[in-house]
Amino acid sequence: MKKIIAAIDAMHFSDHQVAAFKYFAREAKGALTVLCMDNLTTGAIPATSMFPESHTITYEQISVEGRAALQWQRNKNIKELHQICDNDHIGIQTREAVSYPVEEVVATSRFADLLMVSNSTSFAALSDSYPPRFVKDLLVEAVCPVLVLPDVLSPIKEIIFSYNGTYSSIYAIRQFTLLFPGFADMPVKVVYVAENDETAIPFEYQLRNYLETHYDRVEFVMMHGEPATAFLALLIRRKDCIVTYGAFGRSGVSRFFHHSDAENILRTTSIPVFITHP
């Protein structure tokens, strides 16, 4: 049994999002706990992550009537969440973030096998980036694998492993494989983008041997060109697959994700993205 957590905003979530969390928890044969986060009583709610000069909205600046309305909506949402989850024996933890909610979620991820989050989850009071700052911060800081899901999940028909020959990409493939034994009969495509004059996929024999131990159908595909562009072209029209990415270690992870292939995929497609780093 695996320990799986899913983070949602107590003020904004949908049945579709919870259904997607349930689906992947079943495929992972894991126990799901939903972290229902809010920061209604924190000192400041970020107005935006892109423009430092923008003001923030504090809880104290909201009128008494406004606070009561927020609390009523929060309590109503949590009651609905229990109605969605209780019959499936899913644990629910409601938490008020003492600071920005990402810190609470990251702390919990230290003791989890997988963290799931919707790609639209944001605690910003005004317009945010896309994917939101909350999601990008989780990708950088989480200390377990992260599965970022679209708001509405389409049926998964294929697993796409992004591969560039590095340890981090192999690590992501292995982590996904060990986390989701329920996908053993799912078709797998390992995609390698060759740069310069490369003619062979690094360690193809060893990786194929490993994957064929876990999956029934494995295909290797070599593409050519600039990796980010090639992957985006491959995935831009897809809704029926899931893709994995690995980061290049902790030292440069922030820079990696700032302009990463994974962030482009999250911004322009509606597919689940699995990301982890050693």
Which pLDDT value is given to residue 154? 94
Higher pLDDT, 152 or 251: 152
Average pLDDT of the chain to the nearest whole number: 81
Residue 68 pLDDT exceeds 90: no
Of 21-25, 54-58, 155-159, which range is least confident? 54-58
**DSSP secondary structure letters along 216-265:** S-EEEEEEES-HHHHHHHHHTT--SEEEEEE---STTHHHHHHT-HHHHH
CATH class of 2-149: alpha beta
Which pLDDT value is given to residue 67? 64
Residue from 167, 254, 155 nearest 203 by CA: 167
Mean pLDDT of 46-65: 48
Of 50-64, 222-236, 243-257, which range is least confident? 50-64
The structure's pTM equals 0.84
CA atoms of 144 and 195, how far apart (whole Å): 30
Where in the chain are the domains? 2-149, 158-276
Q: How confident is the model at residue 62 (pLDDT cuts 50, 70, 90)?
A: low
Which pLDDT value is given to residue 205? 96
| Topology of domain 158-276, CATH | Rossmann fold (3.40.50)
Above pLDDT 70, what percent of the chain? 81
Identical fold, 2-149 and 158-276: yes
CA atoms of 237 and 271, how far apart (whole Å): 10
Measured distance between the N- and C-terminal CA atoms of the chain, rounded to whole angstroms: 22
pLDDT digits (tens, 9 = 90+) for 38-52: 765 443 444 444 444
